[in-house]
Amino acid sequence: MIHNEAIPVVRAQGLRKCFGRRVAVDGIDFCIPRGLCFGFLGPNGAGKTTTLRMLMGLSPKDGGELTVLGLPVPERARETRARVGLVPQADTLDPDFTVAENLRVYAGYFRIPRAAIDARIDELLAFANLSDRRDARVETLSGGMKRRLTIARALVNDPEIVILDEPTTGLDPQVRHVIWGRLAELRARGVTLILTTHYMEEAERLCDTLVVMDQGRILDQGSPSELVARHVEPEVVELRGAPDEALLARLGGMDARIERHGSSVYVYTQDAAPLLAHLGAVHGRAILHRPSGLEDVFLRLTGRELRE
């Protein structure tokens, strides 16, 4: 199939969704280019999952325009869903079937011819590293295996877009790295990935472009490095424990910006060396010096910490 690279796979303008009087998505605009990994970063309740549900045509919008693969959604969502794979947040695997049967039955919903299914299943099981579990019952799988199977299931129809709602939430760190590896491979094959996350590291590693969402609004969008460059100084020194007001006053005079959140003080600066030299003389403090990241962007944009 020939695709026009210039046409975005998803375009939303003024997209809006209310539940009763609560505004879940408050008139957002975004464009998702083909072949990239696009992220929605934000805390729980930011409107990320609602946005994904609207993309799938499973949540009627209350306002705005939405097209997926050039077709209006939800009006033509049946057609778009045939070309999209979804990895939902909750496990929706069929407990009555084995690993391979889950894929075979699911392929049937896409009217994939029987003859084509078996070869496809072998391929998907290999991709998900589940070839040796093909006849295992789903309930015997670990959380990480289930998530890999869910990703494999989302690929049965050879989708142009894969939508992942919090793909690694609740998984342990090793498993998370395995999933990231699989997603990076999909992206390398040219599949457009759309994901939601509240993990900074996930957004920084996977996403080419992302939008930062909070309370139904998009606060800014760009690549992780663009967002960092636009909103925060390149280096941050984090001081934990009760702040020493006199010390903070001195640091403030050293061309640094100071923010307090919870029990930490964040000192943002262009160059941390003089600051650290000064702090080196102060004892009894936990100090963390690091390059600034999306966490800091989020703090700056919302005044709140994203991590839970």
List contacts with another protein (CB under 8 A): 19, 56, 58-60, 78-79, 81-82, 85-86, 88, 90-97, 101, 105-106, 108-111, 153-154, 157
Q: Are 146 and 91 in contact (CB under 8 A)?
A: yes
Of the pair 92, 263, the CB lying nearest another protein is at 92
Contacts of 228 by beta carbon, 8 Å cutoff, 6+ apart: 234, 292, 293, 294, 296, 297
Number of CB atoms found within 10 A of residue 239's CB: 23
Nearer to another protein, 84 or 218 (CB): 84
Instruction: Give the residue with the Cβ less far from another protein, 1 or 277.
Output: 1
Helix (H) or strand (E) holding 267: strand 264-269
Which residue in the block uniquely carries the two structure tokens 């209350």? 62
How much is the CA Rg of the chain, to the nearest whole Å? 22
Q: How far is the CB of 110 from another protein (least distance, A)?
A: 6
What is the per-residue DSSP string for 146-180?
HHHHHHHHHTTT--SEEEEESTTTT--HHHHHHHH
Cα(70)–Cα(257) distance, integer angstroms: 45
Residue 113, both tokens: 């011819």
Q: Which is nearer to another protein, 96 or 271 (CB)?
A: 96
Choice between 154 and 227, CB closer to another protein: 154
Least distance in angstroms from the C-beta of 109 to another protein: 4
Distance (Å, whole) CA 6 – CA 4? 5
